[in-house]
Structure 1
Amino acid sequence: MIINMSQTKSILYGAFFLMLTLFNVNTIQAQEKNNDKINYVVLTKKIPQLQPILLAAEALKAEDGAAFGDFQVIVCGKEIGDITAPEKVTKFLNRADELGVQIIACGFSLNKFKVDRAAVPKDMKIVENGILHNLQLQKKGYISITL
């Protein structure tokens, strides 16, 4: 089988185009995950754990400087009802607000443990499935830990 110069050029151009396409797809995926900010998500089941979580957020904010991005804390599990007790949660919500940390309630847990959504503090966002939300954030490159 003899390949002429025209066929050789076509093969080389095709290979070059394929490599360029693959490189661009990888670059786009890397850009989606690396947006020059370091983002964090913590999944917790106990309100008292908010104290060390917020201390960690404060330390990371100081350490990361301008690279500190989003910090979300998802509360889920059987003790989710504690978020409706102002004496247990208000000081943490205030501190989170000062730090730019978002505390989120898991809607699945609210439903399962029959917690009235109207009793959830207005400062807290509710997501329908806290575990799914955590995984979606991890896919976006968030650093994650579950307590």
Structure 2
Amino acid sequence: MTNLIETLKANTLVIIFIIMFLEALNLTGIPAIVIMPAVGVFIKSSGHSFLIVFAIATLGSILGSITYYLVSSKFGDIIYNFFYNKFPSTQKSLRKAKETAEKYGAKMCLIGRMLPTIRTFISLMSGIFKVKFKDYIIYSSIGIFVWNLVLMSFGYFGYILSTMTF
């Protein structure tokens, strides 16, 4: 058990990168709104650099989002048709998502990245509806940057406040 703990401590930054990469692919089962404040608390309590951990977590999120976009752009028609035909209750939502993508393009990523339920599907929908890749990366990266910064800051400064005596 001690070896496991030491291994985890030694590889913390890699683990954070992997968790955020997988979170962007919706594979962790735990959303960033839970993960990032915990990372903020970890940073303050462990002495790691906020900027370094923030950069690593954000890079993991961005690369995971790009991967999800590329997969969904490659298999978008199959994914869309599967859900549209197999689950008729999703048809209205899928049509609305398509209209939004056509109207706003990659700009929807900026705001969508900061809306808890919607952010889960931004990369998927952007890929399916062929949002311009360059624009997707720009707007998505800005949204991820802001989202991660806010959530990590909650954990980081929340930890500081919790240790203060008044």
TM-score of the pair, normalised by structure 2: 0.29
Structure with the bigger RCO (C-alpha within 8 Å, sep 6+) is: 2
Greater radius of gyration (CA): 1
TM-score of the pair, normalised by structure 1: 0.32
